[in-house]
Amino acid sequence: MRGKFVALWFAVFVVSEVPRVFAESQISSAPVEQAAKHSSRSMISQKLQLVKMMLATSPALERAAASNDEMLKQKATLAKDRFDSATDLFDKGNLGKAEEVADESLHLIEEISQMIPDQQQVRADQRMRYEELANSLHNAEATYQDLNNRLQANGKSSELKEVTEFSRKQKEKASVLAGEDRYSDAIELLKDAHERVISALNKLLGSNTLLYDLKFKSVVEEYEYELARYHSFEELAPIAYVELRPDKDTIMLSERYVQESRTMRDTAKQQAAQGDHQAAINTLLKAIKNMQTALRVVGLVLQE
Amino acid sequence: MFLYFVFSFAVPPGVVAADSQQVKKNQVQKKPSSTNIESVASSPETYQPPALTYQPEEMSNILSSSNSFNRLLKISRRHQPPTEDGIHDPDNDGTKILQAPLEAFANLPKTPSDLGNGIDWVRAVDERFISPRWDIDDPTEQPLVMDMNIIRVPKGSIPNELFPHRQHTMWLDCSNCHPAIFIPKKGANQISMAANLLGQKCGVCHGKVSFPFSECKRCHSQPKKELVQKGARQ
Amino acid sequence: MRLSLSIHNKLNLIRKIKYAYVLALAFTYIIATPAVAEYGDVVINNYAEKQGMRPVIFSHWFHRIRYACKVCHADLGFKFKAGGNDITMFKIIDGQYCGACHNGRIAWSVKNCNLCHSAKPGTPTQVHESTAQELAIPFSKGAK
């Protein structure tokens, strides 16, 4: 009796889930083009609005109008015509055809944009990429040199010289090209140099692993470290309030802890100024604990 | 019958495997392999996570995610197709055409814990399940992988954290992290779990797109040689 | 199961009803849980809703299978912030941001509005199921 009753509920549960599961397994990947065919009226009207916006204010069309290319101008005119006829069809109620024609107009605008890209934007992008790459190369070289000093006292210094020399030459050539606005070529040169440095770095590292440990050579160093650590927690408080969205009272409570910890930090600074770094460190540790409580109050539970 | 139903909840808990830190030897100009200074506690090569396959036709995907039990007793229904995933609009005609994640994930290697996407993306690339394109202009360009492991020693008793550059440089460019998120210098970055959980530092990607922080051992995989007390001094 | 007036059977029935009630309660936890979108889905709602379109959903997993992070986040200039890139339809049709691929040649073109604009109306800009979001609102359908 009991078993049948349970079995009945179980069957109800199963039956309610089975259709959902089968529905999931039958999601087919229909071709993407089919999406356009069955759009609703509001969708099509929005598409027409988009095309209208594009025709009115697109920078690509402005560039096309300003250029000397006849074909581009013809395309732009054609796009406008298509849009007009799409609007007509839409008003008359022929939704399917209206959408097709609107799509054609969009396609033409896309083509125009691709044929006459914004040179300024392209140059700006390339310039940014060049600067990023130069920065990366600089960092990679610095790391390589630093590790070379640490891991190899004397050996492989010839490799270091070679690589540094190669990189320097590439950087020079690249900056010349950059001055001439030939950023894409400059980027290629920097990429080569970058690859060289990274390969050398990989070879140098071999099977070594770098250990970033917490050994301090003096109390002062440890104090500085703790101060930086305190600051890293302090920075998180406003971020936590934005991300975790606690209510006003919770924020007030959290702010109290933050204020307390700031007072402790000031005390620690004074202690350090007077030369008592060990006490300053202890005070900072308390301050950090307070900050962690402030964060815990708004919902960020930490394990440290 | 009821007992069967109850026991289907008792899913074997996900076993956490440390990510493989070994570099494949087929990378040109890259260093042959990377082993750590200290011998690692768990050796990734001997442990092979079971090849999980998702089977949407059965009910197992509802009940078998190893995150089934949380304290609210709700079962997370994950990897749902777009029409049912809670943020896509099911009334939208486009939503029905979008690919369901499980379809794409069927042939990809999974992580044992099913956290995040549940896909072992690094293994997927290493073992050629996928070959994501590296450069927007050049389809044949390969990533410039830098193999440099860094062990960070946190305060307290949590094991040391190993940061492997290889797994990151096979996806990212140097400029993505340096210097905007991490200053490329020892001792220059204060990274706390609080920052990570709030979407800073490692949390810029992890916890949003890359695997989340729920598995401590995935990063904190190095045993501590010494306990770092409050006043750690040489 | 016969309905009978005997006390023994009444008690039995009450016990069964209690049992069924508990079971039903347990089932509601299973059936009524909100489903979650795939991890890494980014909802972008800077301008879409104001213009009467559904917010946009970008799926990281789909793109990760095909491209390394560098392609979008270094080569195309996408910042690591949901809603932090000022993406407009003008820029897309101009070939920037999404438009670098979604131009009809590499991926679908902009005429397929509802393949991108597919979020439920009212969904705010977010990285769905991100850690910070989970901390803020415990396991719900997403921020409102």
Rounded Cα distance between B163 and B220, Å, is: 9
**Number of Cβ pairs < 8 A linking chain A and chain C:** 95
In chain B, residues with a C-beta closer than 8 Å to the C-beta of A300 are 194, 197-198
Tell me whether C114 touches chain A (CB under 8 Å): yes
- The A residues from 57 to 96 touching B (CB cutoff 8 Å) are none
In chain A, residues with a C-beta closer than 8 Å to the C-beta of C79 are none
Residues C74, C3 share a domain: no
Handedness of CA A105, A111, A117, A121 (dihedral sign): positive
Taking CA–CA distances from A4, the nearest residue in chain B reads B1
Least confident of A174-178, B34-38, C93-97: B34-38
Average pLDDT over residues B184-207: 91
Q: H or E stretch including A279?
A: helix A277-297
In chain A, residues with a C-beta closer than 8 Å to the C-beta of B182 are none
Average pLDDT over residues C29-45: 74
Rounded Cα distance between C40 and C64, Å, is: 10
- The B residues from 116 to 155 touching C (CB cutoff 8 Å) are 116-117, 119, 121, 130, 132-137, 143
Are A103 and C113 an interchain contact pair (Cβ–Cβ within 8 Å)?
no
Which is more confident, C132 or C60? C60
Which is more confident, C59 or A3? C59
Rounded Cα distance between B18 and B217, Å, is: 7
Tell me if A135 sits within 8 A of B179, measured CB to CB.
yes
Average pLDDT over residues B207-219: 90
For position A19, what pLDDT does the model report?
60
Fold (CATH) for B110-234: Cytochrome C3 (3.90.10)
Average pLDDT over residues C51-65: 93
A221-251 pLDDT tens trace: 999 999 999 999 999 999 999 888 888 999 9
For position C69, what pLDDT does the model report?
96
Mean pLDDT of all residues belonging to chain C: 82
CATH of the domain at C92: 3.90.10.10
B51-77 pLDDT tens trace: 444 433 333 344 444 444 444 444 457
Q: How close is the nearest chain B Cα to the Cα of C129, in Å?
A: 7
Best of C29, C61, C106 to disrupt the B interface (most B CBs within 10 Å) is C61
Provide the terminal-to-terminal Cα distance of chain B, rounded to the nearest Å: 63
Rounded Cα distance between C2 and A203, Å, is: 83
Q: Residue A278 corresponds to which tokens in the numbers above?
A: 């060990």
If you average pLDDT over each of A113-127, B24-38, C111-125, which comes out highest?
C111-125
B79-118 pLDDT tens trace: 888 888 888 998 888 898 999 999 999 999 999 888 888 9
Give Cα A152 distance to the centre of its chain.
Answer: 37
For position A28, what pLDDT does the model report?
41
Q: How close is the nearest chain B Cα to the Cα of C63, in Å?
A: 9
For position C136, what pLDDT does the model report?
72
In this complex, the residue of A54, A60, A107 whose CB is nearest that of residue C109 is: A107
For position C59, what pLDDT does the model report?
94
Residues C85, C28 share a domain: no
Q: Residue B80 corresponds to which tokens in the numbers above?
A: 């749902």
- Nearest CA to B179 out of B167, B188, B170, B187 is that of B188
Average pLDDT over residues B24-37: 38
Residues C127, C65 share a domain: yes
Rounded Cα distance between A212 and B219, Å, is: 15
Taking CA–CA distances from C82, the nearest residue in chain B reads B208
Which is more confident, A170 or B58? A170
Are B134 and C70 an interchain contact pair (Cβ–Cβ within 8 Å)?
yes
Question: Could you tell me which residues are beta bridge partners of residue B160?
Answer: B222
Rounded Cα distance between C38 and B86, Å, is: 10
- Percent of chain B past pLDDT 70, that is, above it, reads 63
Is the ipTM of this structure higher than 0.85? no
For position B1, what pLDDT does the model report?
59
If you average pLDDT over each of A178-192, A203-217, B26-40, which comes out highest?
A178-192
H-helix segments, A26-40:
34-37
Residues C54, C21 share a domain: no
Tell me if B93 sits within 8 A of A38, measured CB to CB.
yes
Tally of structural domains, chain C = 2
Residue type at position C87: I
Tell me whether C108 touches chain A (CB under 8 Å): yes
Q: Is the pLDDT assigned to residue B130 strictly greater than 70? A: yes
Rounded Cα distance between C77 and B84, Å, is: 32
Residues C53, C19 share a domain: no
Query: How confident is residue B20, by pLDDT bands cut at 50, 70 and 90?
Result: very low
Taking CA–CA distances from A146, the nearest residue in chain B reads B185
Residues C125, C63 share a domain: yes
Q: Please tell me the total number of residues recorded for chain C in this structure.
A: 144
Are A129 and C136 an interchain contact pair (Cβ–Cβ within 8 Å)?
no
Instruction: Give the domain range for residue C74.
Output: 41-141
